[in-house]
A = this chain, B = another copy of it.
Amino acid sequence: MRAGKPDPRGGKTATSDLEERHDVQGRQQGDRYVRIVRPFQNEFQRKSAGHLVATEEVLAPTSAPGRLADRARRLLFGARIPTAHEIQERVGKAKGLAVFASDNISSSAYATEEIMRVLLLAGLGTMAALTLPITLVIIAVLAIVVLSYQQTIRAYPNGGGSYIVASDNLGPFPGLTAAGALLTDYVLTVSVSIAAGVAALTSIFPELFDARVALGVAFVAVLAIGNMRGIRESATIFAVPTYIYLVAIFGLLAYGLFRAATGTLPEYSAPQAWRDAAAVEPLGILLVLRAFASGSVALTGVEAVSNGVPAFKPPEWRNAQVVLILMGSFFGAIFLGMSLLAGQLGIVPDPSEQETVVSQLTRTLVGAGSPFHYLVQISTALLLVLAANTAFADFPRLSSILARDRFMPHYFQFRGDRLAFTTGIVALALLSAVLIFAFGGSVTHLIPLYTIGVFVAFTLSQSGMVRHWWKLRGTEQGWRWRAGLNALGAVATAIVAVVVGVAKFALGAWMVLVLIPALIALIWAINRHYRKVEDALTLDRPDAALPRRAAPRVLVLLARLDRASLEALGYARSIAPLVTAVHVTDDPAEAERMRARWRQLDVDGDTDLVILESPYRALIPPLLAYIDALQAQDPERPITVVLSEFIPRRPWEYLLHNQAALRLKLRLFFRPNTVVIDVPYHV
């Protein structure tokens, strides 16, 4: 290095030398970074040496439109919440029932109707005869599943979702199957519940019927926004509509049963068109199975309680068990009462799905347009929206667990401003909105897709429990009857899964039977990829040395000699001792002009110009060949290509610049041992 010349690498002029010393001093005192940040104390707080904690100030937008957008965001989603302020609100039995039972209990809004719709195909008589027996069978299965899950709650006080129980006891593959089934199920919970909620509303406001798809999508959007706000925190919001629904519906059923017992049921008569739609298929075993499969939608949401055990107040498992029993009893009672009364009144489902069976039943008992009719319908709609909301809590949580276990992309773990799992919420909202749109907002068309996933997850979870008790056979008293009970649950739910799959196959269940394996394959491929990357990236030893690399060989691609390229050359010369400017041209005369202009420049000895003449006019191949030649001479030394990128002020102006640079970057990106540096030039 010649004296009096600045060092090209350190850039040490008289001034910067001073700064460097100043820096090093600071570092030796261990508080350089704090000093640096002193003028920005609003934005960082020092925790220890080299450990700064950002304040909310760093998120403050600086531009006027940014501030406006930020204000709008706060209005929509609420103020930001720091991670440390996460609240684990615990619920007792009363609120717990409201939070965890809405998904299941809300099925009573459509379970009876879906059974009747299938049976109606074989005629009014068949429907009248078989609706109640099928309801009773389903309630029996529900009882088995509830008892079976009582044990899961006891065994998994930290939350026993199907994914966890199946992974724990049966291994990763059954666990993933349960996860795939559950993810599908959550999407359908949203679609079906919202569609049913809209149907409850259009029963009293028929003029909304034509807008049911738009209404459904709007509800999904409201739920997505609400969950980005983090509405999960407040249980009170759940309690009100759930209890209003329970009071209203039990009141209705009690009144109806009293009238039935006294023989004073009002007259009901379905329009002739509805009756004519009946009896288009013969009664056969498959039809009965299909009716059963449709009704088994009644069991959806049962696993919610066992998922959420840690959210209960102590004793958690005891409270959860009580809530599960209450939920099963309430739901069973409503379901039974509804099927009984619908049969007594001779209600016929509306083939156009304009009015629900619940609405017909209520209207017949208390009069159309009476306040009670409105109360029942609106509280039903609210409950169904809440049911959809539980999926908005469960889907993002399950996907974040899967992402943590490296089965889904990392960003499903990311929590937004309000601690909500943004990606999961958005994914769920999009998928369920697409389903509502694709199936025209019809509950009956969506139902065949719904129950498969639920029962696959049930079966795997219960089988996992059987295995669980078997593992504890030495220590646990009564493991035999416990395993037996779970085995009964597993068998019952497996049978239902098969029945649903067979009976509803052609109606849409095939989609789910294709989707779940595809989802599992995808999850598996993602996991395999992450594991491979982890293997490839993990350091052999934790005390590895930070590498010292040779200074790169730096090429600066020059299109012209202008301020932007001088900027790039200046940057290149600040990071490496020897820099080569490269100019590619197809015109020999232009090459001479470039050489002459270069000679005019005041260039010191460290930087040379190489002209690559390209008679075939291609830009990138000659450059790549030249880089290959350099690399062959000195294989260890990384190649660095510096491009000067002109940054225009307006986005459309991009189309007028940097096209060649973009293509070059793409090509060099895949070249090993090569780094591309864009030196932006802002006008």
The residues of A with any CB-CB pair to B shorter than 8 Å are 6-13, 16, 19-20, 23-24, 27, 32-33, 35-37, 39-40, 43-44, 47, 50-54, 56-59, 80-84, 409-411, 414-417, 526, 529-530, 532-533, 536-539, 542-552, 560-564, 566-567, 569-571, 573-578, 586-587, 591, 595, 597, 600-605, 607-618, 621-622, 624-626, 628-630, 632-634, 636-638, 640, 646-648, 653, 655-657, 659, 669-670, 672, 674-683
**Contact among B82, B591, B630 for A36, CB-based, below 8 A:** B630
Question: For A640, what are the chain B residues with a Cβ–Cβ distance below 8 Å?
Answer: 575
Secondary structure at the A interface, as helix, strand, loop or mixed, is mixed
Question: For A670, what are the chain B residues with a Cβ–Cβ distance below 8 Å?
Answer: 647, 680, 682
Contact assessment for A551 and B529 in the assembled complex, using a CB-CB cutoff below 8 Å: no
Contact assessment for A646 and B587 in the assembled complex, using a CB-CB cutoff below 8 Å: no
Report the minimum CB–CB distance from A15 to chain B (whole Å): 8
Contact assessment for A617 and B83 in the assembled complex, using a CB-CB cutoff below 8 Å: yes
Contact assessment for A43 and B613 in the assembled complex, using a CB-CB cutoff below 8 Å: no
Contact assessment for A617 and B414 in the assembled complex, using a CB-CB cutoff below 8 Å: yes
Contact assessment for B574 and A549 in the assembled complex, using a CB-CB cutoff below 8 Å: yes
| CA A530 to CA B656, docked complex, whole Å | 8
Question: For A587, what are the chain B residues with a Cβ–Cβ distance below 8 Å?
Answer: 83
**Contact among B6, B39, B610, B634 for A19, CB-based, below 8 A:** B634
Report the minimum CB–CB distance from A578 to chain B (whole Å): 6
| CA A252 to CA B230, docked complex, whole Å | 84
Question: For A626, what are the chain B residues with a Cβ–Cβ distance below 8 Å?
Answer: 37, 44, 52
Given contacts A83-B586, A547-B566, A564-B537, contact A23 B578 (CB under 8 A): yes
**Contact among B58, B81, B561, B603 for A624, CB-based, below 8 A:** B58
A-B contact pairs, 27 of them (CB 8 A): A10-B577, A11-B549, A20-B578, A27-B608, A36-B629, A37-B629, A40-B632, A44-B626, A51-B591, A51-B613, A52-B610, A53-B612, A57-B625, A59-B616, A59-B621, A81-B616, A537-B562, A538-B562, A539-B563, A542-B597, A543-B601, A544-B602, A546-B566, A548-B570, A575-B575, A675-B679, A677-B677
**How many protomers of this protein does the assembly include?**
2
Question: For A613, what are the chain B residues with a Cβ–Cβ distance below 8 Å?
Answer: 47, 51-54
Question: For A548, what are the chain B residues with a Cβ–Cβ distance below 8 Å?
Answer: 6, 8, 11, 13, 570, 573-574
Question: For A605, what are the chain B residues with a Cβ–Cβ distance below 8 Å?
Answer: 27
Question: For A571, what are the chain B residues with a Cβ–Cβ distance below 8 Å?
Answer: 549, 552, 638, 675
Question: For A612, what are the chain B residues with a Cβ–Cβ distance below 8 Å?
Answer: 44, 52-54
| CA A564 to CA B9, docked complex, whole Å | 25
Report the minimum CB–CB distance from A115 to chain B (whole Å): 43
Question: For A675, what are the chain B residues with a Cβ–Cβ distance below 8 Å?
Answer: 571, 677-680
Report the minimum CB–CB distance from A36 to chain B (whole Å): 5
| CA A20 to CA B606, docked complex, whole Å | 12
Question: For A545, what are the chain B residues with a Cβ–Cβ distance below 8 Å?
Answer: 601-603
Question: For A36, what are the chain B residues with a Cβ–Cβ distance below 8 Å?
Answer: 629-630, 633
Contact assessment for B615 and A54 in the assembled complex, using a CB-CB cutoff below 8 Å: yes
Question: For A669, what are the chain B residues with a Cβ–Cβ distance below 8 Å?
Answer: 647, 678, 680
Given contacts A6-B548, A54-B621, A574-B548, contact A615 B84 (CB under 8 A): yes
Q: Which 5 A-B pairs have the closest CB atoms?
A: A547-B570, A9-B9, A11-B550, A82-B615, A545-B602
**Contact among B24, B607, B634 for A546, CB-based, below 8 A:** B607
Given contacts A11-B551, A675-B678, contact A409 B546 (CB under 8 A): no
Contact assessment for B546 and A604 in the assembled complex, using a CB-CB cutoff below 8 Å: yes
Chain B residue with minimal CB distance to A682?
B672
Of A37, A40, A544, A546, chain B has the most CB atoms within 10 Å of the CB of: A546
Of A12, A574, A677, chain B has the most CB atoms within 10 Å of the CB of: A574
Of A47, A416, A564, A614, chain B has the most CB atoms within 10 Å of the CB of: A614
